Structure formats: structure tokens, C-alpha cells
Chains A and B, each alone.
Chain A
Amino acid sequence: AQSVAQPEDQVNVAEGNPLTVKCTYSVSGNPYLFWYVQYPNRGLQFLLKYITGDNLVKGSYGFEAEFNKSQTSFHLKKPSALVSDSALYFCAVRDIGGNTPLVFGKGTRLSVIA
């Protein structure tokens, strides 16, 4: 079975500092990995995804994530955080080739403090 772990419920970072939101996954085969962001009372917005190829994936709003197969991780990063980045972030995984739904982590709330 596939699963996603986001070990931190909350991440606090000062504006201008780099941020990292952690994600590890478990799949039986190779993964498709996604990051989504949710603002209050809104649906989820797509940030970036890893399918294959370069392990460093760049996405929307300056975010990037690095796929690390040996550590089964897909941490979300941004070099310089903005207050407007404050939101709930979800990591998600799907097993390649399997007819399985996308599985989400429990989410990490990011607070960027001015």
C-alpha cells in the first residue's frame, strides 16, 4: 500500500529565510510525487510534481522539491520565504502503473513571520 508521511504539523520560518517542508513516501514501485497548497477555505492548488528525470523539480511561486529515492523523500523547499506563503501544504504520492488513487499526507501548516 502507498502512504505519505509529513512529520511536521507546523513549520514556522521568518520572512526571507529558506523554508523546508518535509515529506517521505512509501510505494511498492516507482512513485509519482506531488505538492499541493491550500489557502483557508479553498481547494488545493498544484505546486509541482515529479514524474521522472531530474531529481530537482521547480514549480510555482518559486518552490522546488528534490526527489531522493534512497531516502524516499520529496521535501519542498524555497530559498526565501514570503508571508504570503503561509498556508497548508500537502504532499501526495501515486504508484506508477498502479490503478490507485492519489494518497495525501496529513498536511503541514507553514507560517511565515514578518
Chain B
Amino acid sequence: GAVVSQHPSRVICKSGTSVKIECRSLDFQATTMFWYRQFPKQSLMLMATSNEGSKATYEQGVEKDKFLINHASLTLSTLTVTSAHPEDSSFYICSARDFDGTDSGANVLTFGAGSRLTVL
């Protein structure tokens, strides 16, 4: 089945530094990937939709200069948290939609294992 690999799984950084998280679709091509943020005991919040070869689409309230998204190839999207602060500490999860021949809206999202960011 479809596999999405996310790296790193855990990262600790100092306040003010930037952190890059990678999301790769291993056995399929994904023109669209999604980045979510999950707070403790809360649901997933969609941050942005990453489109291969074009600019990401950010959800309302998400700072695009803070959370830089690059989707340079059909199998790789990256999220860079710039000038990270303790309030950016969270669990970040990426996902991709593997086209299964049906309406794309019905396609199953395959999720990465997540990246836990801790900013000191």
C-alpha cells in the first residue's frame, strides 16, 4: 500500500532557529500533500495544502512566512518552521492522497508518522 515517510520523527531546537521537516511519498507520486498540526488532546488542524511546482495554499490564520512549504518534486514536500519559538512546539503530520481511480475527493489520505517539535 501507499507509504508516506516523515523525517525527523523528533526534533528539539533552540528558540530562534529554523527546523525543516521532510515528507516523502515512497511508492507513489503525490501532486498534493497536506500539512497538519496537532495539539495535545486536540484534533488535527490543517495548516496548508502543498502543491507540486506551485505555491502552497495556507489555511486562514496560518502564517506563510513562519511555516514555509516547498513541494519541489512529486514525492517530496518540506515544511520549514522559521525562527521557531516555544509556542511552535507541536506534533506536525503530513499526508498525501494516493489516487485510486475514483473521484479524488474519495481517495484515502495516507499519513506520515508525524514529527514532534520541541522548541526550548
A107 to B114 CA separation, bound complex (whole angstroms): 17
Say which size band chain B's interface belongs to. 20 to 34
Q: Which residue on A lies nearest to B112, using beta carbons? A: A43
B44–A90 contact, CB under 8 A?
yes
Chain B residues engaging chain A, CB cutoff 8 angstroms: 4, 6, 9, 34, 42-44, 46, 49, 91, 93, 95, 102-103, 105-106, 108-114, 116
Residues of B within 8 A of A43 (CB): 4, 6, 93, 95, 111-114
B34–A49 contact, CB under 8 A?
no
Stretch at the interface among A17-25, A72-80, A95-103: A95-103
Residues of A within 8 A of B6 (CB): 43
Residues of B within 8 A of A36 (CB): 109, 111
A57 to B46 CA separation, bound complex (whole angstroms): 26
24 contacts between A and B (CB under 8 A): A34-B108, A34-B109, A41-B9, A41-B113, A41-B114, A42-B114, A43-B6, A43-B114, A44-B109, A46-B109, A49-B106, A49-B108, A51-B106, A94-B106, A95-B105, A96-B103, A96-B105, A97-B105, A101-B49, A102-B46, A104-B43, A105-B43, A106-B42, A107-B43
